Chain A
Amino acid sequence: MTAAILVSIFMTLAAAATPILLAALGELVTEKAGVLNLGVEGMMLCGAVAGFAVAYSTGSVALGLIAATLAGVAAAMIFALLTLGLGSNQVATGLALTIFGIGASSLIGAGFVGRTITRLGPLFPADYAAHPWLRLVFGHDAIVYLSLALVLAVSLFLRRTRAGLILRAVGENADSAHAIGYRVLAIRTAATAFGGALAGLGGAYFSLALTPMWADRLTAGRGWIALALVVFAAWKPGRLLIGAYLFGAVATFELQAKAAGWSFIAPEVLAMTPYLATIVVLTMMSLGRRTGGRDAPACLGKPFPAS
């Protein structure tokens, strides 16, 4: 294979990894605060359709991205209202949110099926972005850079800042955090909103950058992969990055294999590979982990105040 092909493969890989990385990162922050929001797929679809609708109507991809983020937050706030405000079960509510997102995006997107927009282009000028090998670094769109910066920011936030410490404390032991005097529900609501924002943005990446065209259920279950990634990455942003790019790599391999017309592997098996490989590698990573440590936030999914 020539270098040009390798560069092109990496570009595809990064693009495939980015939406999962965004959604998983948002869910990681939500879960660190003790909220298990299984509605990632639904929030992604809300973001995807809102982003596409606004970008199509206004002609501005940037406005579309903003709308997608807000739509993700709005979907997350439905979840927060039900689970945090009214104390409903987080698992059931999250599943309902996914079903809601699928339905709502179909309804809103019905008028947009098959329409196209100008996709989100590279951030840097064409001198760099189209350069044969400099584009490896400079050829991505703004969201790819944003997602990488967010991994670093979230990692620093959780480990180094007081606000991050408080957020983890709320997820670790909500009663104690309350006893010390922190506002558990407010912090959880904020974390849920952040998760919604990134899920919405991740969803819009499908409709505005990957396939600049609307189709039903565009995210194709990537929200579930994002959820699994959070667990396998042991709630650590760095591992999330590795996991997401690994998923991107295998997804790219699948595309390449199909394009190359390999017939000795059934296409269904090929389609499975990204999911299988992600789980296998991340399981191996978690096996090598030091024993005795606990990864999941202790209060994950538990209602507050306890009923």
Chain B
Amino acid sequence: MTQPPDQTAPSRLALAHVSKSFPGVKANQDISLSVRPGEIHALLGENGAGKSTLVKIIYGVQRADEGGISFDGRPVEIASPKAARKLGIGMVFQHFSLFDGMTVLENIALGLDETVPAEELKARIRAILDSYSLPLDPDREVHTLSVGERQRIEIVRCLLQKPKLLIMDEPTSVLTPQEVERLFETLRQIAREGCSILYISHKLHEIKALCEAATILRGGKVVATCDPRIETTRRMAELMIGAELKHLQRPSGGGKAGAARLSVDKLDMPGEPPFGTSLKGVSFSAQAGEILGIAGVAGNGQAELLMALSGEHLAGQPDAIRLDGRPIGLANAGARRAAGLACVPEERNGHAAVPEFTLAENVVLTARHRLPLAPSGLIRQGPVEAYAKDVIARFDVRITGPGALAGSLSGGNLQKFIMGREIGQKPDVLVVAQPTWGVDAGAAAAIRQALVDLAAQGSAIVVISQDLDELLELSDRLCVINEGRLSQARPVAGLKLEEIGLMMGGVHGESHVAEPAHV
């Protein structure tokens, strides 16, 4: 941004009256936008607003029914992703298109159109990793990496191709504030070098900090364009959802400590081989009516902690985990659910839900312990459908009905459904990883409100997240997990963002991370 983008040069990317319909849905209607060379352009919109379809058209995954695209002033036909890359368009997908059984290096090589010898490619990857300070081992297999690390692969894959237009679909969802700032530095540097960036995010303050122009979509149409540096985040959010944004309603006198509902005492757990993080003496308690936030950079033991709490991995000692005083360390996942402890893992498709099952079937899988959905083993279709419909309505899941396959929902939509499914069971203790990952502003606010309301009814809630803003907004107390160790929980009131950020990532690897950093 040292030199203003050249106003006279042709647009790097210009869309003119682009429309695209799917059976029953007009995903994009008459969309026009233009991105100047070196401009960071935000594409804003709720889930289902048509952003994904639009970028798929730009990246050649789908073809527009009507309208034209021009690139650097020339009209172009983008028939395939390969053609897009040939033009100089790179894309970081929201759903990572990675190959789990292969190494980072192989994944990156697959995304390149030319053949590069492995050693040379490794050197080039290391150069990029170093210059952008991204920690990543090129020889690790992807299935051993956390979501955050997987995202870095996608980013590196694009940067290797020296693109002229970079499409970033929700790139910061799982990064710490420091990492986000570093990514922004990177993106600004890329933009300074003349590459345009089309930046899709729900996080309005990020768009405000990074982008020079914004196009706001709603219901498949452009509803506004604005300069996010001038516009308020609130105004942009309201344009996006087409209604006024609700504030998080906290019950009066929040933060009152009730009895401990979930207490964890010196929990040790070996990490998932071969690269997992072991939990070392993790102790905390969550009280009735409170939301306890657990912050930390991906891969520091969050996955192991969630598995230990959900009962997928059993603790060695029955006393290591107690629910309302009862030892449950050796109880399995079903028994814990029946006892009132519900968990929502980070990975929605395949862990929190069975993609090949309908939403109604997915309801039965976790809600049957608490709700009379399948007494004596026979599924009662009526109540199951009714419960699924209730969740769909309450959490505004955009889908045809409870018969839809979980795998056919977009990430944000499925997240809304899963959160609704668990919250609706009114668990005594709810453990959630990344509650609003990939969910847009309006729906995220609704999910957070539902969590606060659940806590107000006397449940204890543990939120494991890398989104510090969210943790600070939601939590009563906050602790940080680093290399399998959990810090003391501290009241959120009076904690500084930089302080926690340093605890999370800045002093990664030092043993006294739990100590408060210098103020």
Residues of A that sit less than 8 Å from B by CB: 162, 165-166, 168-169, 172-173, 175-177, 179-181, 290-294, 297-298, 306
Q: How far is the CB of A165 from chain B (nearest CB, A)?
A: 6
Q: Is the CB of B101 within 8 A of A180?
A: no
Query: What residues of chain B lie closer than 8 Å to A175, measured between beta carbons?
Result: 97
Residues of B that sit less than 8 Å from A by CB: 60-61, 80-82, 85, 93, 97-102, 106, 109-111, 115, 141, 143-144, 272-275, 407
Q: Is the CB of B273 within 8 A of A166?
A: no
Q: Is the CB of A162 within 8 A of B115?
A: yes
Residue of A nearest to B83 (CB): A181
Secondary structure at the B interface, as helix, strand, loop or mixed, is loop
Query: What residues of chain A lie closer than 8 Å to B101, measured between beta carbons?
Result: 168, 172, 294, 297-298
Query: What residues of chain B lie closer than 8 Å to A291, measured between beta carbons?
Result: 273-274
Query: What residues of chain A lie closer than 8 Å to B407, measured between beta carbons?
Result: 306
Q: How far is the CB of A167 from chain B (nearest CB, A)?
A: 11
Query: What residues of chain A lie closer than 8 Å to B141, measured between beta carbons?
Result: 293
Query: 28 A-B Cβ contacts within 8 A?
Result: A162-B109, A162-B115, A165-B102, A165-B110, A168-B99, A168-B101, A168-B106, A169-B102, A172-B102, A173-B99, A176-B97, A176-B99, A177-B99, A177-B110, A180-B81, A180-B97, A181-B82, A291-B274, A292-B144, A292-B273, A292-B274, A292-B275, A294-B100, A294-B101, A294-B143, A297-B101, A298-B101, A306-B407
Residue of B nearest to A172 (CB): B99
Residue of A nearest to B276 (CB): A292
Asked, given contacts A165-B109, A179-B61, whether A173 binds B98 with beta carbons under 8 Å apart, the answer is yes
- Extra 9 A-B pairs, beta carbons < 8 Å, given A165-B109, A168-B99, A292-B274: A162-B109, A165-B110, A169-B110, A172-B101, A173-B98, A176-B97, A179-B97, A180-B110, A291-B273
Residue of A nearest to B96 (CB): A176
Q: How far is the CB of B116 from chain A (nearest CB, A)?
A: 9
| Closest 5 pairs (CB-CB, A-B) | A176-B97, A181-B82, A181-B81, A172-B99, A292-B273
Q: Is the CB of B273 within 8 A of A173?
A: no
A175 CA / B96 CA spacing, docked (Å):
11
A175 CA / B81 CA spacing, docked (Å):
13
Query: What residues of chain B lie closer than 8 Å to A169, measured between beta carbons?
Result: 99, 102, 106, 110
Pick the most buried of B82, B98, B110, B272: most chain A CB atoms within 10 A of its CB: B110
Q: Is the CB of A179 within 8 A of B99?
A: no
Query: What residues of chain A lie closer than 8 Å to B100, measured between beta carbons?
Result: 172-173, 294, 298
Among the listed B80, B106, B274, which residue makes an inter-chain contact with A165, where contact means beta carbons less than 8 Å apart? B106
Q: Is the CB of B81 within 8 A of A179?
A: yes
Asked, given contacts A172-B100, A175-B97, whether A180 binds B111 with beta carbons under 8 Å apart, the answer is yes
A199 CA / B209 CA spacing, docked (Å):
61
Query: What residues of chain B lie closer than 8 Å to A168, measured between beta carbons?
Result: 99, 101-102, 106
Q: Is the CB of B98 within 8 A of A176?
A: yes
A177 CA / B107 CA spacing, docked (Å):
10
Q: How far is the CB of A191 from chain B (nearest CB, A)?
A: 16
Residue of A nearest to B86 (CB): A181
Query: What residues of chain A lie closer than 8 Å to B143, measured between beta carbons?
Result: 294
Q: How far is the CB of B139 from chain A (nearest CB, A)?
A: 13
Q: Is the CB of A292 within 8 A of B272?
A: yes
Query: What residues of chain B lie closer than 8 Å to A177, measured between beta carbons?
Result: 99, 110
Pick the most buried of A176, A298, A306: most chain B CB atoms within 10 A of its CB: A176
Query: What residues of chain A lie closer than 8 Å to B111, measured between beta carbons?
Result: 180
A290 CA / B106 CA spacing, docked (Å):
20
Query: What residues of chain A lie closer than 8 Å to B275, measured between beta carbons?
Result: 292
Q: How far is the CB of B347 from chain A (nearest CB, A)?
A: 14
